[in-house]
Amino acid sequence: MSETWIILGASSSMARAFVRAVAERGDSVLLAGRDMDDMARSAADARTRGAPLAEPVFFDARKPDSFTPILDRAQAVEGPVSAAVFVGSMPPQDEIDADPGLIEGVVSDSFSGPARFLQSFAPLIEARGAGNVVGVASVAGDRGRIGNYVYGAAKAGFATYLSGLRNRLTRAGGHVVTVKPGFVDTAMTWGIEGMFLVAPPEAVARDILKAVEKKRNVIYTPIFWLGIMTIIRAIPEPIFKKMSI
């Protein structure tokens, strides 16, 4: 059965790749974000790829008033409605160190804003007895590292939230997939020193869709990041705190 996907953060590279993937299998998409012109182009592309419905809608994780029109539009469509969250922001850690006021924006974009939206969206899945949530967390949330510990903390909080939401929605016929990407070729990672094993967004989108179809709970993408993070989590704290990774 085809479904309608709400794509939060639809202008990101990963989101665009995911939109193309679900459109090609015949799903509808509501592209939610701030760049309406960009999303209008993506919506037109999705329709050419087979999406029965593809519309841009305004969304800002820091403005809860923007959530209601999206939720109302979702209520109006028939069949299962799912949501995929690609929202997040990652200012350089040294900028946050210089201006701790930036923390609020990171948390709003990467955790509290998306969580607040999903908290209001969850009853729709429960009412219809079907639907998926894809939440993009990050390997950065697996352990606090000197280079991006504020972003990592926000994503760790989001991952814990998704775990609880999965517990809730499973009882109603829904499903939640937590996605932990490593380095992906997106605007967020452009120009950052030390990038390695950078994955194309299309590969990540394929992994996400496969996880949805197989009802996986948590995935690392690309899969080798599971091994990398298993090692990083196992490093004893007295050693880890002296490392620059």
Global pTM reads 0.92
Q: Percent of the chain scored above 90 by pLDDT?
A: 89
The whole-number pLDDT of residue 245 equals 77
| Exposure of 12 in the CB half-sphere (CA atoms within 13 A) | 25
The whole-number pLDDT of residue 1 equals 64
Q: Report the CATH architecture of 4-240.
A: 3-Layer(aba) Sandwich (3.40)
Q: Which of 133, 27, 137, 25 is nearest to 82 (CA)?
A: 133
Give 46-55 pLDDT, tens digit per residue. Answer: 999 999 999 9
Find out whether 75 and 67 touch, Cβ atoms under 8 Å.
no
List, in order, residues 6 or more apart from 64 with CB less than 8 Å away: 113, 116
Q: In a 3-state reduction of DSSP, which class is residue 56?
A: strand
175-181 sheet: strands from edge to edge: 54-58, 28-33, 4-8, 81-85, 132-136, 175-181, 218-221
User: Quick one: pLDDT band at residue 186, thresholds 50, 70, 90?
Assistant: low
Average pLDDT over residues 89-117: 97
CA–CA gap between residue 58 and residue 180 (Å, rounded):
26
Cis upstream peptide for 222 (omega within 30°): yes
Find out whether 36 and 113 touch, Cβ atoms under 8 Å.
no
CA–CA gap between residue 151 and residue 140 (Å, rounded):
7
pLDDT at 12 over 80: yes
pLDDT at 207 over 50: yes
pLDDT at 196 over 70: no
The whole-number pLDDT of residue 190 equals 42
The whole-number pLDDT of residue 189 equals 46
Give 59-70 pLDDT, tens digit per residue. Answer: 999 999 999 999
User: Quick one: pLDDT band at residue 244, thresholds 50, 70, 90?
Assistant: confident
